[in-house]
Structure 1
Amino acid sequence: MDLAVLWAFIIAFAVIAYVILDGFDLGTGILFPLLGRHENRDTAMNTVAPIWDGNETWLILGGGGLFAVFPLAYAIIMPAIYAPIIAMLLALIFRGVAFEFRFRTVRGRWMWDVSFFIGSVVAALSQGIALGTLVQGIDVDGRAYAGGWFDWLTPFSLMTGVAVVVGYALLGATWLVMKTEGELHDIANRFAWITGIGTLVLIGLVSLWMPFLDAEFYVRWFTFPLIFYVAPVPIMLAFAAFSLFSSLARGKHVRPFLSALTIFVLAFAGLGINFYPNIIPPDITIWDAAAPDASLIFLLVGASVLIPMILIYTGYAYWVFRGKVVEGEGYHH
């Protein structure tokens, strides 16, 4: 059994769990100023209030896991993306505070609404920029980061940043379609169309740009016979997109959200195809970056206890707070 590969999958799982779970509550924040009356904003906030902080558990698992399991990768990647990561953490703090404070004030509510919105946008943009930086390749000299302070700021990384913001807004819109009714449901449905089209256009642009960043990406997607192995990803993405728009058009409540999640998972799978077996393109592999086997086994014991526990309590929380959130109801009132 290859421990390094197993851990790469565990960390990839933590990252995608974070992206789809925190994605929809960041997306709710991104749409916040566009939801009309402040009662609508209260209701939108109440849909994510019981679960948003649990969703961020996966961020800690992904980041902490990377540090423990692939220390070399952590040591190279972090200096390359310090600025977006610090911006993301500050934004998440502002956003977290806004949850509690906006329900406690009337006069200052606008201030916390703005904090919630800006925190959500900055966190999403930072994650997209960090991802773009990793995809475009990091300058490595020996076993250390060799780039400059602003290598993360490129047209490609800014475009991936915008793509993540729009994609999260799609997750937020479809989440509100599923969780609300009446006026807010209709507003969310309208934004699901707009952000859905935007997300697909941006996924297309990023995907077309990628092969020009690294010859290896081009080889994996456009050469024979590899193209047969990777073709199912874009084909399934097209089906997921069709499912999203057809279910929105037919007024479905749950399926648009599941379709949007599927689009994200498939886009993530596409990134995995680009990267594997490297953890830092173009040349540091999973095995180069992994900690010694003894450490990996020790950490695996902990992970095999913790991850099922996190999954169980997360699932239970979603089960308890299932169903529609009605205006005027919520855990704060």
Structure 2
Amino acid sequence: MEFELSFILAMIIAFAVLSYVILDGFDLGIGILFPSAKSEQDKSVMMNTIAPVWDGNETWLVMGGGGLLAVFPLAYAIIMPALYMPIILMLLALIFRGVAFEYRWRTVRWKPVWDFAFFAGSVIAAFTQGISLGALVQGIKVANRAYAGGWWDWLTPFSLLTGCAVVIGYGLLGSTWLIMKTEGELQTRMRGYAKWLGIATLGFIGVVSILTPFQDPAYFQRWFTLPGSIFSVFVPALVGLCTWLLFMGLKQDKEAQPFLASLGLFVLSFIGILVSFYPNIVPPNLTIVEAAAPDSSLRFTLVGVMVLVPLILIYTAYAYWVFRGKVKPEDGYH
């Protein structure tokens, strides 16, 4: 029973993290692309495409972090000291980005400052998320059920690589989102950006995929022995399919297809990480079962999750449905 509950809740937390990545990823991508705007009108349109949904997207981050604390307190107690610096930088960047989002509409004199804060907050948040992912993939030192590494263990060439990969990938999501939500010259420009960002994203996916098995011999074993070897065939094939859909969508001037294909690349990359990690929640040695809270706590948490997750999904779907369609230059945030 303990394994079943911990596994189910681990999958729910993984779903929350994936939801955050793909939903907040494209609006962080808008911030990353913000300096490319040619005019104030372009900036306003870019921000208006995410104005109704950006703060709701971050609900999944809160759920993922809170769920980790409630369900896997040991993992939380190990991961936080190991990644304290990048996580704090990420949260501060998200705060300044949110403040900039609101304040730039209410000032003229200081608008360039808040525009830069919006851009810098987006880049730093994306970069530190990638660094945290890379540090987790390369493994966290644990001794006596506590973090045993150093203050700077998270800062390595591999984590810097994954940090850059996430920034570029979020830029791809942002550009394809704008293709779907805008029109005219801005949309045309984003098609051009999406092409090069797509090539760069695929390059990073390839390099990270090649280097990941060398971070821990267990990763290599999981990918090339059954049942993991099944994924080593299907995941690259599906990545190839998403790649084809992305570039064909851009070539044929499709609007939704490039965005959906980009999301597919992120989902498949996330699946690859899960295959590498399972059954660990903190690589290389702390498993899902070992890190789980007592069974009574898991049952209590599962009841709350079964109520909250459907509500969040319904709210999210409703918000995107209400604000569907193109964003016009005359549309206003307030």
- TM-aligned CA distance change 1:307 to 1:69, over 3 Å: same
1:131 aligned to which of 125, 130, 133: 133
What is the Cα deviation at residue 163 of structure 1?
Answer: 0.3
Does the aligned pair in 1 maintain the 2:165–2:201 contact within 8 Å? Answer: yes
Structure 2 alignment gaps of length 5 or more: none
**Residue 329 of structure 1: how far off its partner (Å):** 1.1
- Say how many residue pairs are matched: 332
Letter in 1 for 2:208: V
Cα distance in structure 1, aligned partners of 2:226 and 2:314? 43
Question: Are the equivalent residues in 2 in contact too, given 1:179–1:324 (CA < 8 A)?
Answer: yes
2:281 aligns to what SS in structure 1?
Answer: strand
What's 2:302 paired with? 300
1:48 aligns to what SS in structure 2? Answer: coil
The alpha-carbon deviation at position 234 of structure 1 amounts to 1.1
Residues in 2 aligned to 1:238 and 1:97: alpha-carbon distance in whole angstroms: 39
SS of the equivalent of 1:305 reads helix
SS at match of 1:11: helix
Q: Give 1:231 shift.
A: 1.3
In 2: Cα distance, 1:68 partner to 1:265 partner: 25
| Per-residue Cα deviation, 1:221-260 (whole angstroms, up to 9, x for no partner) | 2357742343111110110011001001100001111100
Report the counterpart of residue 81 of structure 1 in structure 2: 83
One-letter amino acid of the structure 1 residue matched with residue 164 of structure 2: V
Partner of 2:203: 201
Q: 1:90 aligns with which of 87, 92, 106?
A: 92
Alpha-carbon deviation of 1:170? 0.4
Change (3 A) 1:188 1:64: same
Paired position in structure 1 for 2:14? 12
Moved over 6 A (4+): none
Which string of whole-angstrom CA distances, capped at 9 and with x for unpartnered residues, describes residues 102-134 of structure 1?
Answer: 111122111111000000000000100000010
| 1:273 counterpart (272, 275, 284) | 275
> RMSD across aligned C-alpha pairs, in angstroms?
1.0
| Equivalent in 178, 181, 184 of residue 182 of structure 1 | 184
- The 2-side partners of 1:234 and 1:109 are apart by 44
In 1, the alpha carbon distance for the partners of 2:210 and 2:79 equals 24
The answer to whether the Cα contact below 8 Å between 1:87 and 1:126 also exists between their aligned partners in 2 is yes
Cα shift readout 1:242-291 (whole Å, capped 9, x = no counterpart): 10010011000011111000100000000000000000111110000000
1:215 aligns with 2:217: yes
Distance (Å, rounded) in 1 between the aligned partners of 2:92 and 2:114? 15
Distance 1:59 1:19 in 2: 8
**TM-score of the two chains, using structure 2 as the length reference:** 0.98
Deviations 1:186-236, CA, capped at 9 Å, x for gaps: 111111111111110001000100111111111122357742343111110
Secondary structure (helix, strand or coil) at the match of 1:279 reads strand
Give distance in 1, aligned partners of 2:275 and 2:54. Answer: 30
**Secondary structure, counterpart of 1:29 in structure 2:** helix
Query: Partners of 2:139 and 2:315 in 1: how far apart?
Result: 37
Q: Is the 8 A contact 2:228 2:275 kept in 1?
A: no
Report the residue type matching 1:32 in the other structure: F
The correspondence for 1:285, drawn from 273, 284, 287, is: 287
2:224–2:232 contact (8 Å) kept in structure 1: no
Residue 311 of structure 1 corresponds to 313
Whether the 8 Å CA contact 1:237–1:263 is kept in 2: the answer is yes
- The answer for the alignment partner of 2:157 in structure 1 is 155
Alignment of 1:46-57 (within 5 A): 46-57=48-59
Query: Which deviates more, 322-331 or 307-316?
Result: 322-331
Q: State, as a whole percentage, how many aligned pairs show the same letter.
A: 62
Counterpart in the other structure of 2:265: 263
- SS of 2:17's equivalent? helix
| Separation of aligned partners in 2, 1:225 and 1:99 | 46
CA distance in 1, matches of 2:141, 2:228: 27
Match of 1:170 in 2: 172
TM norm structure 1: 0.98
Q: CA separation in 2, counterparts of 1:164 and 1:113?
A: 21
| CA–CA distance in structure 2, aligned partners of residues 226 and 13 of structure 1 | 20
